[in-house]
Structure 1
Amino acid sequence: MVKLSYRNPVVKRMVSSLTKIWIFYIVLSILAIYATAYALQKYTWLVARNVEILKVQSSIYNHETLRLKEDITNTMQTLQGVQDKSNYIVNIKESIKGVLEMIPDSITIQSITIDYSSLTLKGIVPSKQSFELTIQQRLDSIFENSHVEFYPLSNGWFSFVSINSSVLPFIAKKVN
């Protein structure tokens, strides 16, 4: 065999090894970009889903807050009503006590009936004027409706029945 070259023959490839390295890194970079884009897309989807969940929770909490505020308002109104009724009852109690304390010795009380919103007095009085001047004025100032009837007795005195009622009850009903 004849040798025409001073070098040994070398196999020549179509793509050099340096080009193969460049192609490998380019493909690797493209895959990394797609993987990052996919991860960001998934992360964005998860964040959007969490935002929707948080909006629903916020709506629920806002609704619950409004309901609790209404409950607080209703409770405060009920409490105010109970306080007003309590003050009214104390005032009625003091007024009735005052009426009973100012009954003169000449008037005889036979019975006192106190109902939920009414007071009934029965007794004997020497004259209509003595009852009206001593007790009736005080009863008129306490109750919305006050009515008295006199019945003459054989000795010249009068038997009376005084019925007094109020719109608001001043004695609480017993609940069984």
Structure 2
Amino acid sequence: MKYSYIKPRTKTPFTQELKLLVTFFSMTLIMIFSTFIFLVYKDYSFQKEKAETIEARLELQKDIENMKNQITYIKKQKDLSERIFTKNSVLKDSITNLFDLVPERITLSEAKLLENGLVLYGITPNKDVYNFMLQAPLRSIFHKTYSSFYPAGNGWLRFVSTNYIDEMDQELENEN
């Protein structure tokens, strides 16, 4: 005997609501898992980028330090070249003044510049011309002046004049 007009359905534990619920939960889990994977990847990439940035910063610091060393070296070279240029200019002016100091009647054959003095070799008509026209200006410049005379073949005198500046006075001038 049949009490129902429809054919009975088989009942499963997976109802439509349960299937819908499982689908939503699985999609949510997939989204959470993919977000987790994305965040792990981003963290790894940020850590790698951070390490590269630190390495680049260290390289730049080394380069900056090298450049500072090069700048100080170049400044020292510039200062040295300026001092040499100044000394050369002073030396050139001194030599010009020295040759302007020598009168026409006295002929120089050689001049040696020493660090703290000057040695002159030349010919003069007599000692008086040398003493009044050359030795007097040399004595006003140098602290110690020595002269030696030798007879030349034409009646004139050859002379050797050695002139020195005291080292103590020279050190005082260098300090100023």
TM-score bracket for this pair, using the shorter chain length: 0.7 to 0.9
CA displacement, residues 61-119 of structure 1 (integer Å, 9 cap, x when unaligned): 1110111111011101101110111111111111111111121234332x124579686
C-alpha distance in 1, partners of 2:20/2:146? 119
Q: What is the match of residue 83 of structure 2?
A: 84
Q: Is the 8 A contact 1:152 1:159 kept in 2?
A: yes
* 2:149 maps to amino acid: Y
3-state SS, counterpart of residue 60 of structure 1: helix
Q: What is the match of residue 159 of structure 1?
A: 159
3-state SS, counterpart of residue 29 of structure 1: helix
C-alpha distance in 2, partners of 1:160/1:147? 11
3-state SS, counterpart of residue 27 of structure 1: helix
Structure 1 segment 58-137 matched on structure 2, within 5 A: 58-109=57-108, 111-113=109-111, 120-125=119-124, 126-127=127-128, 129-130=131-132, 131-137=134-140
3-state SS, counterpart of residue 124 of structure 1: strand
TM-score (norm 2): 0.74
C-alpha distance in 1, partners of 2:39/2:6? 56
* 1:34 maps to amino acid: F
Q: Is the 8 A contact 1:123 1:159 kept in 2?
A: yes
C-alpha distance in 1, partners of 2:96/2:2? 145
Identity of aligned residues (%): 15
Runs of at least 5 residues in structure 1 that lack an aligned partner in the other structure: 166-176
Q: Give the C-alpha shift of residue 135 in structure 1.
A: 2.9
Runs of at least 5 residues in structure 2 that lack an aligned partner in the other structure: 166-176
Go from structure 1 to structure 2 and tell me whether the alpha carbon gap of 1:105 and 1:115 turns closer, same or farther (over 3 Å shift). closer
Q: CA RMSD in A?
A: 3.1
TM-score (norm 1): 0.74
Aligned residues: 159
Q: Is the 8 A contact 1:151 1:158 kept in 2?
A: yes
Q: What is the match of residue 3 of structure 1?
A: 2
